[in-house]
Amino acid sequence: MKYVIAVDLGATNLRVGIYSFDGELRNLHIIRTPSKGGKNTIAEVIYDIGIKLLRDLGLSGDEVVGIGIGTIGPLDIRRGEVVNTPNLELRSFRLREPLIDLFNKNHVYVVNDCVAGVWGEKTFGHGVNYSNVVYVTISTGVGGGVVINDNLMLGKDGNAHEVGHLVINYDDELRCGCGGVGHWEAYASGSGIPRFVKHYMKNLTTKHRNSIVSLDDEVTTPEEFFNRVRTGSKLFNDICYEICKINAAGLASIVNAYDPELITIGGSVALANYGLIIEPAIKLLKQYSLNRLPEIKPTKLGSETVLKGAASLVIKPPKTLLEIYGTS
């Protein structure tokens, strides 16, 4: 049996797993993502965990074909490096070169986490029988990965589809973590929702010329927000409906730009609140969309989408990625 080491490198957690080539997760280890160190620190940590996981399974490095990585971006995909990420104190670091050296393997593939996610959906999830698939995640941020005509889209640096930064409101003051104005992620992501709530209430107060909301109406986490929605608060249900319209605008922009057959939705915020922020958004989609609507459903791979996607990069390497790396 052949094996692959898969890595899901997020701003909070670093997951390293061993998959067999039939897509079965055999071993897994999760740690907090190292936020400090040198340019090679994260690669060295991945190597140490990978070796330990293999040893636990009684496997040798010879049985490993390669290493697949889905990481926070932005990327310099040719060099296999993360460049100036706003989400980690260690802003720039190397992955591909040090991992090629440490594991002594040529097949080391580094892509954006949602890009890995869509390839996982296409290889092992709902997308197996489709040629045009988009994966959208709504968690701390909003991200996406796109397969068109069976090709994994990458772009010149590997950042082809930063859909979280699609402009869904051109005339507003609410700033995204990236500094831009009117971005989807600023309103509808786990980090954006509490700030959007505050922003919405401020506008409401200004409009009515006196304070109609109290300090009790502040929320600091998306969980608090959705609890208030579920308890039936009219104010919070109004804001939730605004988020549905925003999600509909974002999803419609994807439909209009990529013409997918299938969109799968993942990420902790979307999966935990699918009936509140995705199902109503799907109902609103038509009014924003030009193209024929695709099927939209939750990812088949749950919280494993990125990790399994990283494994699938090695198990069934995308042609566009092989072209960039010049390996086969």
Which residues of the shown chain bind Zn ion in the complex (CB under 5 A)? 165, 176, 178, 180, 183
Which residue's CB comes closest to Zn ion? Answer: 176
Q: How far is the CB of 81 from Zn ion (least distance, A)?
A: 21
Closer residue to Zn ion, CB minimum distance, 122 or 165: 165
- Residue type present at position 153: M
C-alpha closest to that of 167 among 151, 153, 187: 187
C-alpha closest to that of 141 among 197, 102, 85: 85
Q: How many alpha carbons lie under 13 Å from residue 46 in its C-beta half-sphere?
A: 33
Q: How far is the CB of 166 from Zn ion (least distance, A)?
A: 9
Closer residue to Zn ion, CB minimum distance, 96 or 165: 165
Q: How far is the CB of 135 from Zn ion (least distance, A)?
A: 19
* Dihedral over alpha carbons 99, 146, 173, 268 (to 10 degrees): -70
The answer to whether the CB of 36 falls within 8 A of the CB of 45 is no
Closer residue to Zn ion, CB minimum distance, 72 or 176: 176
Question: Cα-atom radius of gyration of the chain, to the nearest Å?
Answer: 20
Closer residue to Zn ion, CB minimum distance, 96 or 183: 183
Closer residue to Zn ion, CB minimum distance, 179 or 275: 179
Q: How far is the CB of 297 from Zn ion (least distance, A)?
A: 26
Q: How far is the CB of 165 from Zn ion (least distance, A)?
A: 4
The answer to whether the CB of 139 falls within 8 A of the CB of 190 is yes
